[in-house]
Amino acid sequence: MDDVRRRPVTPTPTLKPSPPHPKASEALPRPLYITNTIFFTLFFSVAYFLLHRWRDKIRTCSPLHVLTFSEIAALVCLTASVIYLLGFFGIDFVQSFISSRPITSHDEYSTWYVDDHHHQQQKHQQPKCLFEEESFNITALSEEDDEIIKQVISGSTPSYSLESKLGDCKRAAKIRREALQITSGKSLEGMPLEDFDYESILGQCCEMPVGYVQIPVGVAGPLLLDRKEYTVPMATTEGCLVASTNRGCKAIYASGGANSVLLKDGMTRAPVVRFSTAKRAAELKLFLQDPNNFDTLSVVFNRSSRFARLQDIKCGLAGKNLYIRFCCSTGDAMGMNMVSKGVQNVLDFLQTDFPDMDVIGISGNFCSDKKSAAVNWIEGRGKSVVCEAVIKEEVVKKVLKTNVGALLELNMLKNLTGSAMAGALGGFNAHASNIVSAIYIATGQDPAQNVESSHCITMMEAVNDGKDLHVSVTMPSIEVGTVGGGTQLASQSACLNLLGVKGANKENPGSNSRLLATIVAGSVLAGELSLMSALAAGQLVNSHMKYNRSSKDISKIGS
């Protein structure tokens, strides 16, 4: 892009957006309707009186220029009421006309106002910057950018098309941000705009960006898992979460570490198709589940990607509607797009032999994605992992500050019985979703898939003559990837690199994403162990009062 001449940036204070223009009626000392009633009544009363006196003088041939005191008073009142009515309605008309004019320059829509009390302070103090940290600065923009902002505001240039029209993603975000602040009258001060690669999210992560949100990232560990140590990044705004997970990691480490087993690795997608009769839908179901047809369907499905490999097909019939659940391996990608392309290939192939098949949707919720569903809890989706550890008795006492018997009783009554009483679906745990969400945000996963990825059952049992604690978490649907989506963003990529799972594993495709899934399960194990111990020892409230409360004086902030 050619360099454009920008206006010099002066240290002019950034102030709050202009409030609505005051109207003449706002200066009245009493409610508007009362004032209007008084003057309208006065106008018509004195007008009637003067007209009546004028008629009488004509009848009696009295001089019209000779006025009595009452007639003089009536003329004064008439003049006053006319002045008021003309002034009130005239000024309002002019102001409404002025406020309806289109914006003609950047200088007009970037005019800011100072509160009266602040303005009075400036008369008695040395000049200083009036910008408060919470108000937003007027960005120095070129005349060309000013014109584009006006086009966005007027609607002649769609906001979503700025990147393609300008060829500069950061500039597009800046223009969109300015236009948004002007049209909404709200400041986006505090949301950073600079120091972000907007090119990296184009067409992949987020549309119409106006900045980015900062979330602090903490680390828990080392987590000793399968004889290897991992420092786990967690992005969260909840106090105590990282510290609690870190304590669980310490207990696992002191007891010799945890072990994990990957039970299954397969992403699913389930389209819904419809036929004219249930019999016809059943014929397709039998065709798809016939082992003799699986190889042919696999060849068609696997054309979609180098890494997609069809594993199985399961069908559910509802009247004349058929739900087809495809499951396939997806390498190091989470794989939603990959499996969807494979499913589309198969549907196109089936259309030849089943021309009466009506494809209602590529997803029929039998998958099931981003929803709590029994099919994921039973069949699994993504990576199915079980992780276990034996925590020594002395570690339970010294690190976790409780005892094995208390943990066993609490786990049975809370995670198992309590969840059953609540009718939980995959929620037989203390707070698996806390750890899953924090790691997902830090590593660029889809946070919405926390729903099914947090399906977890936590089991505890006394071992070694009842002295030590065996604890495990079973998670059937951890949906993670190390390529694609948000994993390629700079911050998220750095977190993946910290875990040693960044990008695709060329030697053993899929091993990085599988390792990430086991780390998630190991971290959940640590989090479950620590929270359950805090509950058993009665430490939860005290710890949150200490670490999860704001230290700011809210009353002062509000004032």
In order of their start, the domains of the chain are 33-61+69-82 (no CATH), 143-201 (no CATH), 217-265+382-548 (3.90.770.10), 271-361 (3.30.70.420)
On whether the CB atoms of residues 478 and 432 are closer than 8 A, the answer is no
Amino acid at residue number 99: S
Higher pLDDT, 250 or 118: 250
Q: What percent of the chain has pLDDT over 90?
A: 70
d(CA 238, CA 495): 19
Q: How sure is the predictor about 197, in pLDDT bands with cuts at 50, 70 and 90? A: very high
Closest CA to 220 of 434, 515, 365, 507: 434
Active-site entry in 264, 370, 401, 414: 370
Residue 224: pLDDT over 60: yes
Is residue 108 among the annotated active site residues? no
Residue 96: pLDDT over 50: yes
Query: Could you tell me how many residues make up the chain?
Result: 559
Q: What is the mean pLDDT of the chain?
A: 86
Nearest Cα to 544, choosing from 246, 238, 221, 215? 238
Sign of the alpha-carbon dihedral angle for 269, 270, 272, 273? positive
Say whether 470 is catalytic.
no
Mean pLDDT, rounded, for 59-78 = 79
**pLDDT above 80 (res 309):** yes
Residue pair 400/529 in contact by the 8 Å Cβ criterion: yes
* Average confidence (pLDDT) over 106-123: 43
Catalytic residue among 238, 312, 393, 461: 238
Indicate whether 105 pLDDT > 70: no
**Local confidence band at 85 (pLDDT 50, 70, 90 cut-offs):** confident
Lowest mean pLDDT among 4-18, 50-64, 364-378, 506-520: 4-18
Reported confidence tier of residue 269, pLDDT bands at 50, 70, 90:
very high
- Band the pLDDT of 296: cuts 50, 70, 90: very high
Residue among 524, 317, 309, 298 at smallest CA distance from 430 = 524
3-state helix, strand, coil in the chain (%, to 5): 50, 15, 35
Is 544 noted as a catalytic residue in this protein? yes
Distances (CA, A) of 358 to 70, 339, 347: 91, 20, 10
Whole-number Å distance between alpha carbons of 83 and 80: 5
With a pLDDT cut of 70, the percent of the chain lying above it is 81
Q: Which one of 170, 320, 414, 544 is the catalytic residue?
A: 544
Of the two residues 149 and 51, the one the predictor is more confident about is: 149
Q: Are strands 468-478 and 456-463 parallel, antiparallel or unpaired?
A: antiparallel
Q: Which of 446, 452, 479, 528 is catalytic?
A: 446
pLDDT of residue 521: 98
What does the pLDDT read at residue 334?
Answer: 95
The pLDDT of residue 107 is 44
Q: What is the pLDDT of residues 351-388, one digit of tens each?
A: 999 999 999 999 999 999 999 999 999 999 999 999 99
Segment 130-134 mean pLDDT: 37
Average pLDDT over residues 23-34: 56
DSSP 416: I
Angle between helices 511-537 and 432-443 (to 10 degrees): 140
Under the banding of pLDDT at 50, 70 and 90, the label for residue 49 is confident
- Residue 40 pairs in a beta bridge with none
- CA angle centred on 397, ends 396 and 399, rounded to 5°: 70
For the segment 405-429, the average pLDDT, to the nearest whole number, is 97
pTM, entire model:
0.74
Strand, coil or helix: 493: helix
SS3 113: strand
Left, alpha or beta for 167 (phi > 0: left; psi -120 to 50: alpha)?
A: left
Question: How many other CB atoms are found less than 10 A from the CB of residue 114?
Answer: 14
| Residue 258 · residue 522 · CB < 8 Å | yes
